[in-house]
Copies of this chain bind each other. A is one copy, B any other.
Amino acid sequence: MKNINETLEKILQKVTPLIGQGKTAAYIPALANINPNQLGIAICDINGKVYSAGDANTPFSIQSICKVFTLSLALKIYDSDIWQRVGREPSGQKFNSLIQLESEQGIPRNPFINAGALLICDMLESRCSAPNYQLLELLRKLSGNYRIKTDAKVARSEMQHSARNAAVAYLMKSYQNFDNNVETVLESYAHHCAIEMNCIELAKASIYLANKGSSLDSKVQVLSAEHVKKVNAVLATCGLYDASGDFAFRVGLPGKSGVGGGIIAIIPGRYSVCVWSPELNEAGNSLAGTAALELLSQALDSSVF
């Protein structure tokens, strides 16, 4: 145990020099103005033991990491029917591109590009009475922190800059692959992205993906063991935008990044990990965070390949 904590400290030391070489997300002021000089990491094992280092207690905007949890909620409701409306192939394109969506008749390539995530929100909207509340409740239960909430200012800022996502949603609507009011779903999606959690909470919340679908205390079976494998497979091929191949190559783990600078990664049967540092590389993934996960994967010999 002490060992792992030491390992985490050493890893953070090694990647700290990367800070200053990336860029914080520019598209909304709330994210652009964050102090870039932050770096945290947390690991949770399947028995609930947590290790951490650096700014692991500082909450940040989870952004696209929310897509893992909304997909899980949707799988619980729709089961395999979900794959009628969204694919599970890497897109080979930018996360917010409309090009493929046009040539493939409004079916998003996977649930982790923006189009796919908006579609999942649309599906939740159709069948949940209060999807935002349900997502928050799930994250609270999984992490054990019942005060997790959306940063209203960030959510508002997201909505003010949601034209691109609106275009994506309307394009799907034009292909009859979007059922609810676009504005409503965009609001919902903005609220999901603006949820604030810290590394420890996200590591805990993600453990079901390393633990056959079960939460730490076994009180919540988020997904079946079979669904977990499938979600991890989609994370491994599509979870880091257009740098998923590079992440598999360097880290070798299913993972999901957000433009807030967080990345979660799953070591199946063993650990869930969350790392955070706000500056992003060109692909939109945390620069220091990716490097830290690469070192961690080597240290724990945990590449699935």
Chain A residues proximal to chain B, CB less than 8 Å: 87-93, 97-100, 102-103, 109-110, 163-164, 166-171, 173-174, 178, 182, 228-230, 232-234, 236-238, 242-246, 248-249, 252, 254, 268, 303-305
Contacts and interface: CB of A to CB of B under 8 A. Distances in A.
A170 B174 contact: no
Given A245-B238, A303-B229, A304-B268, A163 B174 contact: yes
A243 B109 CA distance: 11
Contacts of A243: 89
Nearest to A103: B99
B246 A90 contact: no
Given A92-B90, A305-B304, A252 B229 contact: yes
Contacts of A170: 163-164, 166-167, 170
A244 B237 contact: yes
A98 B100 contact: no
Nearest to A178: B163
Nearest to A234: B249
Assembly stoichiometry (copies) = 4
A148 to B, nearest CB: 27
Contacts of A249: 88, 230, 233-234
25 contacts: A88-B245, A89-B92, A89-B243, A90-B244, A90-B245, A92-B92, A99-B99, A99-B102, A110-B245, A163-B174, A164-B174, A166-B173, A229-B252, A229-B303, A232-B305, A233-B249, A233-B305, A234-B245, A234-B249, A236-B237, A236-B248, A236-B305, A237-B237, A237-B244, A304-B304
Tell me whether chain A's interface is mostly helix, strand or loop, or mixed: helix
Contacts of A90: 89-90, 92, 237, 244-245
B92 A100 contact: yes
A215 B103 CA distance: 43
B245 A237 contact: yes
Contacts of A234: 245, 248-249
A241 to B, nearest CB: 10
Given A98-B99, A167-B168, A228-B305, 20 more contacts: A88-B245, A88-B249, A89-B245, A90-B237, A92-B100, A98-B98, A99-B99, A163-B171, A163-B173, A163-B174, A166-B166, A166-B173, A167-B167, A233-B245, A233-B252, A233-B305, A236-B248, A236-B305, A268-B304, A268-B305
